[in-house]
Structures are given as structure tokens and as C-alpha cells.
Amino acid sequence: MTTDAVRTVVLADLTTLRLGGPVGRYVEVDSSEAFVEAVRAADDAGEPLLVLGGGSNLVVADEGFAGVVVHDVRDGVEVEAADSCGGASIRVPAGQDWDALVARAVQEGWVGVEALSGIPGSTGAAPVQNIGAYGQEVSGVISTVRVWDRERSRVRTLPLVDLAFGYRTSLLKRSLLEPGSPWGPTPRYVVLEVAMQLRAGTLSAPVAYPELARRLGVQIGERAPLADVRDAVLALRAGKGMVVDGDDPDTWSAGSFFTNPVLTLEQVADLPDGAPRFGVRTSRPERSTGPSLGAVDPDLVKTSAAWLIEHAGFGKGFGLPGPVSLSTKHTLALTNRGPGTAAELVALARTVRDGVRSRFGITLEPEPVLVGLALDDAA
């Protein structure tokens, strides 16, 4: 079923940043067939297309979006198989709320996404960004992703080997970033459904993140009860303003605004001694769940964007008392405490990016999708 809205829809009402102007046409879809037809019709008509899930990874211009906004409101989980030996094989529509899915997995004893608790947004966005937190990435449990290929105008099922997952990226996301790409702000591949294989158990995947291990009182590599891991992650995220709360303006954000930079060994040599350094997993994920996501690349190192921001002189709450500022809980989140504008938020992001580049020679890259806006002044 497709519903074309006749009312005026403003993207500020549909995004966690509470920013964005009116849309040209708004369509809600509650079936895979309606979803495909809405996307196909927009492309055939040459209309700009914005596919919307949870609205947690978007910064939309104050002028709005003149094209078609297709909002996937499907939810539910199809359990294809679930037993103590093979684990659970599930299929999830793209519109399903991600954290509700994680809560279901923990309740059912499905292992592999418990450390991804509290991440806002829809399941369809998860493989695009290869969402990750506290030692897990969604690529560790994905088996296939069913998509509508806008270029070939047909439904395709992409297996894990073809999805080319990396740190906060995938084949799906790269279709937006290729030079001369005709796609945007929606990628070439529109996610319809995500299939996952999760191990069965009462204990988590081995805990891989020091902060989480300390919170749980375990050593790196040990396991903990699934529910305990979820509770600990939610508490850690809440302390950083990374769990959406309508009463807390520190959470009126798009989550982490910048990705952690991945550097060559030559670039790392110029980092100050105190800057964090982490391994980067870039090879094909292993078929186990949890943090076993492939070998660490010896030629790359990841550092902390939050550390760079703070040491470039931008502390928590930078920008206050203005309507947009860094969160008072975490420097990676840019918040719209209201009544701010998208232009003001992007100006703040640009100031932070340029300050880090001037201090460290590293250019931070935005994680959210910018619609009608750009960090580069020329753009």
C-alpha cells in the first residue's frame, strides 16, 4: 500500500536533528511492492528521491527537499529458522526500528548485535553505514541484503561477499561517493530487506571494547549475559547523549557527526603521542558473529575524532549559548537545541572540521547524509 500525503510535511518533524524544511511530495509505503513502485515512479519521472527510515542520519537544508520523500514504515521480523545448533536466521524489512530489533534479539537469545543497542534509525540504514559500536559491527551478522537496484531497475539479492563492508562503509554507501555518481541523496541500491544469521546463546560475543569490559567487570575477550551487555551499552550511550531522549537536547543530534579518521602509517607518525590508535579491520568478515570481523590491516590505523576535536580546542558544549552546539556530553555530536537552522549546524561542523585540519592536518569526514547542504564552501 502507498499513501501520498496531502498535508504539508516538514523534515524537521521526521529527523532526530529536528531540522529540514518542507518536502515536495511525501509517500509512506507499508509493503515491499509499494516501496519499489514508489522509487521506480520517482526515477522514471526524473524526480529527486530521498528514501527515509528513522531520520537519524540526515541533515536536511532549511529550504527542504523539492523531490519525493519515500518513508518506509514496515516493521516486523521473519524468523526462518531458530535452534540451539544453527542459531537464528531472520529477515527484517528495511523500515524496522533497529533498537527494537536488538531488544528482540537479546530477549530471544540471538547473539551478535547486543553491543549495537541504542543506535537510532532503521534496519535498512544499518548495512549502508555498516553501523558499529563497542567492538561489534553489523557486518558480523549479515548474510544477504535485498535491494532495488535503481540503475538496473530490478530487485537483487547481494551476498556478504559482494557488499564490500569496511569501517562505516559498504558497496551501498560507495554508490553515493563515486566520482560522477548520478545518485543522491539516495544511493543506487535501495535496501528492501536485511537477512541475518545470529548465533544462539545466553552469553554475548567476546567483549572487545575496553570501556564496555570495564563497565561489565570482565576482561577483554570474555563473555557476559546478553541482557547485561545491552544494559551496559545503553547506559554508556546515555551518558554520552547517544540515546534519543525527547527531554534531553544533548540527544537532538544525528549521533556521531564525524567518522573516526583512518590513517596511513605515515600520517600516524605525525600524531601526538597521546592520540588514540586502533586497529582497522578491512578484510572480508568471518562468518562468526561479534568482533571477529577479519584481520587487522597492518598499514592502517584509526584514531579518535572526538580526541582530535577536543585537542583542537573544541570542548563539550562549544557553541553555547547558541541554538546549535557540540553536545555537553560528547564532542562528536552536533546538537540542535532549538530553534536552530541547518545552515547554522553545518557552519559549526565546518568550523570544527577546519580547526582540526589546521591543528593536526587531518580532514574529518561527516557521517550523516547532507541533503541540500555541504561542508565545502565551494559546494
Catalytic residue among 74, 146, 150, 168: 168
Catalytic residue among 175, 204, 253, 256: 256
Euclidean distance between CA atoms 45 and 23, whole angstroms:
17
Residues 6+ apart with CB under 8 A from 29: 1, 2, 3, 35, 38, 70, 71, 72, 73, 74
DSSP, collapsed to helix, strand or coil, labels residue 18 as coil
Euclidean distance between CA atoms 165 and 37, whole angstroms:
28
* Residue 367 annotated to the active site: yes
Residues 6+ apart with CB under 8 A from 179: none
Euclidean distance between CA atoms 217 and 220, whole angstroms:
10
Side-chain half-sphere of 266: how many Cα atoms within 13 Å?
A: 0
In 293-351, DSSP assigns E strands to 296-302, 324-326, 333-336
- Residue 95's nearest CA partner among 117, 116, 70, 112 is 70
Residues in the chain: 379
* Residue 32 annotated to the active site: no
* Active-site amino acid positions: 168, 256, 367
